[in-house]
Amino acid sequence: MQGIIHDDRELRATATGAVRDEEFFREAKDVRVLTRTEARRIDRRGRFVEVVNLDTGEERRIAYDKLVLATGGSPVVPPMPGADLKGVFRLYHPADAVAMRKAIEAGEVRRATVIGGGLIGMEATEALAEHGVVVTIVEMLDQILPSLLDFETAAYLRKHLVAKGVTILTGTRVLRIEGEEGRVRRVVAEEGAHDADLVLMAIGVRPNTKLAREAGLEVGRSGGLRVNKYLQTSDPDIYAGGDCVENHHVVTGEGCFVPLGSTANKHGRVIGDNVTGGRARFPGVLGTTIFKAFDANVGRVGLTERQARERGHAVITAIAPGPDRAHYYPTAQFLFVKLVADASDGRILGAQVVGPGDADKRIDVLATAIHFGATVDDLPDLDLSYAPPYSSAIDPVATAANIIRNKREGLAPSLTPMEVKAKLDRGEDFILLDVRTPGEYEAARIDDPRVRLIPVGKLRARLPELPRDKEIVVLCQVSLRGYEALRILAGAGFRDVKFMDGSLAAWPYPVVCG
Q: In the prediction, which pLDDT does 7 show?
A: 67
In whole angstroms, give the CA distance from residue 494 to residue 67: 69
Q: In the prediction, which pLDDT does 430 show?
A: 98
**pTM of this structure:** 0.94
CATH entry, 88-148+165-205, from 1.10.1240.10, 3.40.50.300, 3.50.50.60, 2.40.160.40: 3.50.50.60
- Listed in sequence order, the DSSP H helices in 372-455 are 396-408, 417-425, 438-443
Dump strand ranges (E) for 23-180: 37-43, 48-53, 59-63, 67-69, 73-75, 88-89, 111-115, 134-139, 167-170, 174-180
Q: Name the CATH superfamily, with its identifier, for domain 8-71+208-275.
A: FAD/NAD(P)-binding domain (3.50.50.60)
In whole angstroms, give the CA distance from residue 31 to residue 24: 9
- Name residue 220's beta-bridge partners: none
Q: In the prediction, which pLDDT does 91 show?
A: 84
Q: In the prediction, which pLDDT does 404 show?
A: 98
Q: Taking the C-alpha atoms of 422, 425, 431 and 432 in order, what is their torsion angle to the nearest 10 degrees?
A: 70
CATH class, domain 289-408, is alpha beta
What are the extents of the domains in the chain?
Answer: 8-71+208-275, 88-148+165-205, 289-408, 414-506
- Please answer whether residues 302 and 256 qualify as being in contact, where contact means their C-beta atoms are separated by less than 8 angstroms: no
- Please answer whether residues 134 and 112 qualify as being in contact, where contact means their C-beta atoms are separated by less than 8 angstroms: yes
Q: In the prediction, which pLDDT does 507 show?
A: 97
Q: Is 260 exposed, middle or buried (0-12, 13-18, 19+ CB in 10 A)?
A: middle
Q: In the prediction, which pLDDT does 279 show?
A: 97
Q: In the prediction, which pLDDT does 22 show?
A: 93
In whole angstroms, give the CA distance from residue 319 to residue 352: 9
Taking the CA atoms of the chain, what radius of gyration do you get in angstroms? 26
CB count within 10 Å of CB 321 equals 25
User: What residues contact residue 327 under an 8 Å CB cut-off, 6+ apart?
Assistant: 392
In whole angstroms, give the CA distance from residue 193 to residue 300: 33
Q: In the prediction, which pLDDT does 77 show?
A: 86
Q: Nearest-CA neighbor of 132 among 202, 73, 197?
A: 197
Walking along the chain (514 residues) 10 residues at a time, the average pLDDT comes out as 66 84 92 96 98 97 98 91 94 87 94 95 94 96 96 96 97 96 96 96 95 98 97 98 98 96 97 97 98 97 98 97 96 98 98 98 98 98 97 96 97 97 98 98 96 98 97 97 97 97 96 91
Q: In the prediction, which pLDDT does 3 show?
A: 60
- Listed in sequence order, the DSSP H helices in 147-202 are 151-163
- Please answer whether residues 122 and 293 qualify as being in contact, where contact means their C-beta atoms are separated by less than 8 angstroms: yes
Q: In the prediction, which pLDDT does 138 show?
A: 97
Q: Tell me, what DSSP letter sits at residue 26?
A: I
Q: In the prediction, which pLDDT does 2 show?
A: 58
- Please answer whether residues 415 and 498 qualify as being in contact, where contact means their C-beta atoms are separated by less than 8 angstroms: yes
- Please answer whether residues 296 and 307 qualify as being in contact, where contact means their C-beta atoms are separated by less than 8 angstroms: no
Are both 88-148+165-205 and 289-408 of the same fold? yes
CA atoms within 13 A on the CB side of 75: 20
Q: In the prediction, which pLDDT does 6 show?
A: 65
- Name residue 431's beta-bridge partners: 472
306-312, Cβ contacts within 8 angstroms, sequence gap of 24 or more:
306/150, 307/350, 308/340, 308/342, 308/349, 308/350, 311/252
Q: In the prediction, which pLDDT does 95 show?
A: 86
Q: Name the CATH superfamily, with its identifier, for domain 414-506.
A: Rhodanese-like domain (3.40.250.10)
**Beta strands 88-89; 198-201: pairing state:** parallel
Q: In the prediction, which pLDDT does 5 show?
A: 67
Q: Taking the C-alpha atoms of 257, 354, 157 and 482 in order, what is their torsion angle to the nearest 10 degrees?
A: 130
